Homo-oligomer: A and B are copies of this chain.
Amino acid sequence: MKTYIAPVPLDKAYRLLNHGPTVLVSARFGGTDNVMAAAWACALDYAPPKLTVVLDKIAKTRELVEGSGRFVVQVPTVAQLKLTYQVGHRSLSRDPGKLDHSGVELFDIDGHDLPFVSGCSAWLACRVLHEPHNEKTYDLFIAEIEAAWSDTRVFMDGHWNFETADPAMRSLHYIAGGRFYAIGEAMDVDQGMPD
């Protein structure tokens, strides 16, 4: 495991997704690894932490998720802008060298037989809670987050530190047509205000 990567307590895992970043979904099955981009991923519950993610029927990554019942959701950074776009638009079926061509480097985390993408700011190891109707009708997958990690340079002690971290570590928020927005300025509400 890399130097700056540390576990995130499961009760704080939802915070890794709460601000709605575009994510990378990676999976491994039958000797094949793949990575795709997904703007449609969302926290679903706190404890045990769960999330939803939409995986199109044409996505090779979906086949791998269906085979293994597991996947990783990771939060890419501004430094990974092109990588994020490329894994979202290249197809492993058409381009067997997709990961290399997209600049993806994978790493391992002990105890998890899953492909983790290097250079992200957070990683969530997920186990599918099989819901055939949702998967078939809506391409909607529900999963429990079994473990989570962050790059402590940008998420530590349960908090994102985008405002002080290297701007290249900000999260990406995809719209369409190659247009992303990076996450911006921090804004705090005074919690002491009358309720």
Of the stretches A2-10, A27-35, A43-51, A108-116, the one at the interface is: A43-51
Q: Closest residue to A186 on the B side, CB-wise?
A: B181
This protein's copies in its complex: 2
Check: A153 CB closer than 8 A to any chain B CB. no
Q: Closest residue to A84 on the B side, CB-wise?
A: B189
Q: Closest residue to A174 on the B side, CB-wise?
A: B18
Check: A100 CB closer than 8 A to any chain B CB. no
Q: How far is the CA of A39 from the CA of B19 in the complex (A)?
A: 7
- Contact-size category for A: 35 or more
A138 touches B54 (CB 8 A): no
B142 touches A187 (CB 8 A): no
Residues of chain B with a CB closer than 8 A to A90's CB: 195
Check: A156 CB closer than 8 A to any chain B CB. no
Q: Closest residue to A172 on the B side, CB-wise?
A: B187
Per-residue B-contact encoding for A55-67, CB less than 8 Å = 1, 0 else: 0000000000000
Q: Interface of A with B (CB < 8 Å)?
A: 15, 18-22, 39-45, 50, 52, 54, 78, 81-82, 85-86, 89-90, 131, 133-134, 138-140, 142, 158-160, 162, 170, 172-191, 193, 195
The 3 closest A-B pairs by CB, nearest first: A20-B20, A184-B184, A19-B173
